[in-house]
Chains A and B, each alone.
Chain A
């Protein structure tokens, strides 16, 4: 595979690798001289027919190594040398015996035929070589494109391959619905000595490529990335090796190869676009369904605590009711509790709205799971005072790329639920572990377990485990958990543990495996 990285630019000219064309002809003359030098001492002990053979070997060899032009030169030069050195009278181009004319004519024809055949064979072999290299280069790119999931990654992969294969700088521009082009992230130059890693291109020319849908060549090659209906983008390639000659000098076969690369990329981009559109549709649908259920239930859940607060306030404020201080205290607590419930509901609603309106992009940073778990335990310390907490969070877990507040919110909601729905003395276990590409977070208790019915329904908005329960809080907690988990590309499920009790499992994708042990510090700092 290593040879793929080598520029292809020199391949079609491989048969001239000996040097310039003139060097080939010089070598041709050298071969003739060599043949003469070999044959000269043999004559006259060896018959002149066999001397001819020596020259024919020279012709065959020369044509094979040097190509057609030098091959013809050798053929002619050999005849002349044979005539001069061996045909009597020797050391003159005169011919005594006319039958030698015939010999030399046959010799010339045979030599030319051999040269031609040999050169044809070579050209076929070279072409086959080039085709094979092209196929494998295209294959290398398409393999990388196949695993890329978004436009940016695909464009970057294509740029990298094109840069390496054509020894050039390249840039992919993506067209929006109106056909306006924007450059994708320019991948860092694949070669360290690449001075202009940022390729400047002619925007007008690129737009013209979009409009016309065909390849244009100026100082660089502008290739259309043809979608199903319109041009989806433009790939700009500027050869680096021969800056003065520029793109105009690119041979046809290289242009064809570039076209093949562009077609391959366009195909992959189309796939990425379809996937992106499907994802956007899914997010939009989820957002819409949330809003509907939310509105339907908010008024009820806000009005109930509000009427309690208003009632309690009016009781306290009436002097003629002459409430004793015990009753005042009770009413005060009631007001506080109801106000808190409402505040909690509002926070939950805001939180959900925010997750949904975030356009699917959490504000992520790297966090240690241990830290997030500790934080959520701390935030719920008072609530959990009468529960036993068991932690199983290994210190060597990989870090996760998450929005910390959301993950803490998930854990807090689960802990809060565990506190609400289990009797004091219950054990709550929090586990974290790596499962393949995921981090699995589990919050389990040994309480009464989940209510009968499909546990996954608990994650729907305004679902509460027991319909007729006076437990405070609104059925948004688990909905938030699910929205937050899914926003991270993970999920959450609920089940009853076989040994009893409720069990919630959160999966979060591990973006990059990261060694949690401290990176080595430079020795110089150690003292």
Chain B
């Protein structure tokens, strides 16, 4: 199995959580490297070149955000934050500094494993094709700004809808914060989340099977939006 090659770096100071995570990932075919401090974590990331990094935010030497910033300077490796901090500003800060996902403690072991596998799979698959996005039955031609639904009907994207979708696609399946999205679409002088919400709504109407329960353009509450190309079946 190719998965046996995947290395997971765990930056976490709590012994019990270290042990549990080690059991979980080693038992499921990953190679596990554990670092107890931020400094150690950054060092191990360079040494072992992991396929995925799990970072706790409350580390004894420095804040885990520093680890994310340090690794992001040289590597696009997926980083999952594993934290007991649930406040919105902290989640926002983690995503702004380049985290790929945020898992709250206490976590459920099977759910964490599912998310890690999905992120590794996406990362291995590489960036999204920028020509045509396949979202279930719907195909989006980013070049022609056209959405073609399953029955062959075509709907045009407005320029702003197109720019939003393109920005989301360019970030792969990573979360794009609302502020970053507004900046990329409208430029640095605007701060209008209402307009963003309106356009996200109209995009969903064109792309989603059920716009009131979106599957492709997901809202990350208080943080931003994320484009998901192949949604996990919800019952796993």
Chain B minimum-CB-distance residue to A379 = B221
Q: Any chain B CB within 8 A of the CB of A44?
A: no
Contact B212 A373 (CB under 8 A): yes
Q: Any chain B CB within 8 A of the CB of A204?
A: no
With most chain A CB atoms within 10 A of its CB, the pick from B86, B199, B213, B218 is B213
Contact A521 B159 (CB under 8 A): yes
Q: How distant is B91 from chain A, measured CB to nearest CB, in Å?
A: 10
Contact B193 A516 (CB under 8 A): no
Given contacts A339-B106, A340-B106, A366-B193, are A516 and B201 in contact (CB under 8 A)? yes
Q: Any chain A CB within 8 A of the CB of B222?
A: yes
Contact B201 A371 (CB under 8 A): yes
Q: Any chain B CB within 8 A of the CB of A208?
A: no
Contact B221 A518 (CB under 8 A): no
Q: Any chain B CB within 8 A of the CB of A251?
A: no
Q: How distant is B228 from chain A, measured CB to nearest CB, in Å?
A: 12
Chain B minimum-CB-distance residue to A365 = B193
Contact A405 B88 (CB under 8 A): yes
Contact residues of B between 196 and 236, Cβ < 8 Å to A: 197-202, 205, 211-214, 218-219, 221-222, 234-235
Contact residues of B between 180 and 204, Cβ < 8 Å to A: 193-195, 197-202
Chain B residues with Cβ below 8 Å from A367 are 197
A408 to B222, CA, bound (A): 11
Contact B197 A399 (CB under 8 A): yes
Contact A374 B106 (CB under 8 A): no
Partner of A395, one of B199, B211, B234: B211
Q: How distant is B16 from chain A, measured CB to nearest CB, in Å?
A: 12
Partner of A374, one of B159, B198, B212: B212
Q: How distant is B101 from chain A, measured CB to nearest CB, in Å?
A: 15
Chain B minimum-CB-distance residue to A367 = B197
- A22-48, CB under 8 A of B: which get 1 and which 0? 000000000000000000000000000
Q: How distant is A165 from chain B, measured CB to nearest CB, in Å?
A: 34
Partner of B211, one of A354, A370, A377, A516: A370
Given contacts A339-B106, A368-B201, A385-B235, are A393 and B159 in contact (CB under 8 A)? no
Chain A residues with Cβ below 8 Å from B235 are 385
Q: Any chain A CB within 8 A of the CB of B75?
A: no
Q: Any chain B CB within 8 A of the CB of A343?
A: yes
Contact residues of A between 333 and 358, Cβ < 8 Å to B: 336, 339-340, 343, 347, 350, 354
Contact A371 B159 (CB under 8 A): no
Q: Any chain B CB within 8 A of the CB of A277?
A: no
Contact B205 A518 (CB under 8 A): no
Q: Any chain B CB within 8 A of the CB of A391?
A: yes
Q: Any chain B CB within 8 A of the CB of A363?
A: yes
Interchain Cβ contacts under 8 Å between A and B, 11 examples: A340-B106, A350-B86, A368-B201, A371-B219, A395-B205, A395-B211, A399-B197, A399-B198, A405-B221, A521-B160, A525-B158
Contact residues of A between 361 and 411, Cβ < 8 Å to B: 363, 365-368, 370-371, 373-375, 377-378, 381, 385, 391, 393, 395, 399, 404-405, 408
Interface set of A (CB-CB < 8 Å, partner B): 336, 339-340, 343, 347, 350, 354, 363, 365-368, 370-371, 373-375, 377-378, 381, 385, 391, 393, 395, 399, 404-405, 408, 514, 516-519, 521, 525-526
Interface set of B (CB-CB < 8 Å, partner A): 86-88, 106, 108, 158-160, 193-195, 197-202, 205, 211-214, 218-219, 221-222, 234-235
Given contacts A374-B213, A517-B198, 9 further A-B contacts (CB under 8 A): A350-B86, A366-B194, A366-B197, A375-B221, A391-B213, A393-B212, A516-B198, A519-B198, A525-B160
Chain B residues with Cβ below 8 Å from A378 are 213, 218
A514 to B197, CA, bound (A): 12
Chain A residues with Cβ below 8 Å from B88 are 363, 405
Chain B minimum-CB-distance residue to A363 = B88
A107 to B162, CA, bound (A): 90
A526 to B156, CA, bound (A): 10
Partner of A514, one of B108, B158, B194: B194
Chain A residues with Cβ below 8 Å from B197 are 366-368, 371, 399
Contact B159 A526 (CB under 8 A): yes
Q: How distant is B113 from chain A, measured CB to nearest CB, in Å?
A: 15
A408 to B86, CA, bound (A): 14
Q: How distant is B97 from chain A, measured CB to nearest CB, in Å?
A: 20
A232 to B12, CA, bound (A): 56
Q: How distant is A233 from chain B, measured CB to nearest CB, in Å?
A: 32
Chain B residues with Cβ below 8 Å from A405 are 88, 221-222
Chain B residues with Cβ below 8 Å from A393 are 212
Contact B158 A518 (CB under 8 A): yes
Contact A518 B198 (CB under 8 A): yes
Given contacts A373-B212, A375-B219, are A518 and B193 in contact (CB under 8 A)? no
Chain B residues with Cβ below 8 Å from A368 are 197-198, 200-201
Chain A residues with Cβ below 8 Å from B193 are 365-366
Contact B194 A399 (CB under 8 A): yes
Partner of B195, one of A371, A377, A395, A519: A519
Contact B201 A395 (CB under 8 A): yes
Chain A minimum-CB-distance residue to B160 = A521
With most chain A CB atoms within 10 A of its CB, the pick from B86, B87, B219, B234 is B219
Q: How distant is A383 from chain B, measured CB to nearest CB, in Å?
A: 12
With most chain B CB atoms within 10 A of its CB, the pick from A374, A408, A521 is A374
Chain B residues with Cβ below 8 Å from A374 are 212-214, 219
Chain B residues with Cβ below 8 Å from A354 are 87
Chain B minimum-CB-distance residue to A527 = B159
A52 to B218, CA, bound (A): 97
Contact B234 A381 (CB under 8 A): yes
Chain B residues with Cβ below 8 Å from A336 are 108
Q: How distant is B217 from chain A, measured CB to nearest CB, in Å?
A: 10
Chain A residues with Cβ below 8 Å from B213 are 374, 377-378, 391
Minimum-distance CB pairs A-B, first 5: A525-B159, A366-B194, A368-B197, A343-B106, A518-B202
A377 to B222, CA, bound (A): 16
A223 to B9, CA, bound (A): 68
A521 to B202, CA, bound (A): 13
Contact A404 B195 (CB under 8 A): no
Q: How distant is B147 from chain A, measured CB to nearest CB, in Å?
A: 15
Chain B residues with Cβ below 8 Å from A381 are 234
Contact A404 B221 (CB under 8 A): yes
Chain A residues with Cβ below 8 Å from B221 are 375, 404-405, 408
